[in-house]
């Protein structure tokens, strides 16, 4: 599953797209998804016109894409700077073991940390990579003390602060 941001640069919607069924998408479904990724606030009538369907046929396809779990929901995208969370930190975490119990305990605990935007199980040097937002370095120090240092099974942790986001997209090729 992936989160696909839809809309132009300042639009505030995201669509959750399941990659499991993506091979069953026909060209019209792919055009619908592409348009939604570029213009998330588009009306059904305008979307239908852009993909050469009637409004009712377009609506039925959207309902099917939602029912199939390809489109799972819509959310507002917030500007982290505007809500006081301009600092992005990537944290590499290596666990002390690889048992299912330890992985499950870690994943459940990290999912409860409010400032963690993403958690990825990795192949390679680190077991997990977290993407965290904070107010500033002091706020990250608080998050580290209050949450990260208490995560189960952590052997090592390395934090890297993003200086600037050069490029960011959530639009998937469909």
Domain coordinates in residue numbering, the chain: 2-75, 87-161
Provide the 3-class DSSP secondary structure of residue 27. helix
Strand partners, 13: 6
pLDDT at 159: 98
CATH 1.10.10.10 fits 2-75, yes or no: yes
Q: Exposed, middle or buried, 36 (CB in 10 Å: 0-12/13-18/19+)? A: buried
Which pLDDT value is given to residue 24? 84
Write down the pLDDT at residue 54: 96
Phi/psi zone of residue 136: left (φ > 0), alpha (ψ -120 to 50 degrees), beta? beta
pLDDT computed for residue 150 by the predictor:
97
pLDDT at 38: 80
CATH architecture of 87-161: 2-Layer Sandwich (3.30)
The answer to whether 36 touches 6, Cβ cutoff 8 Å, is: yes
97 touches 153 (CB < 8 A): yes
Q: What pLDDT sits at residue 41?
A: 87
Q: What is the pTM of this model?
A: 0.76
pLDDT score recorded for residue 18: 45
How far, in whole angstroms, is CA 18 from its chain's centroid?
A: 12
In the predicted model, residues of the chain with pLDDT beneath 50 are 1-14, 16-21
Q: What are the tens digits of pLDDT across the range 33-48?
A: 989 878 888 999 999 9
């Amino acid at each position: 599953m992936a989160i696909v941001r839809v809309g132009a640069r300042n639009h505030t919607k995201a669509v959750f797209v399941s990659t499991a069924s993506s091979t069953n998408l026909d060209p019209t479904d792919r055009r619908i998804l592409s348009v939604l990724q570029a213009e998330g606030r588009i009306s059904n009538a305008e979307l239908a016109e852009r993909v050469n369907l009637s409004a009712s046929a377009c609506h039925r396809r959207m309902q099917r894409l939602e029912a199939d779990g390809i489109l799972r929901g819509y959310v507002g995208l917030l500007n982290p700077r505007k809500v006081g969370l301009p600092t992005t930190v990537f944290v590499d975490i290596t666990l002390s073991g690889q048992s299912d119990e330890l992985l499950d305990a870690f994943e459940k605990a990290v999912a409860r940390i409010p400032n963690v935007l993403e958690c990825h199980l990795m192949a390679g040097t680190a077991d997990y990579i977290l993407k965290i937002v904070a107010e500033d370095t002091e706020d990250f120090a608080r998050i580290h003390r209050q949450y990260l240092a208490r995560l189960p099974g952590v052997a090592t942790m390395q934090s890297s602060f993003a200086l600037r986001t050069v490029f960011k997209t959530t639009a998937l090729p469909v």
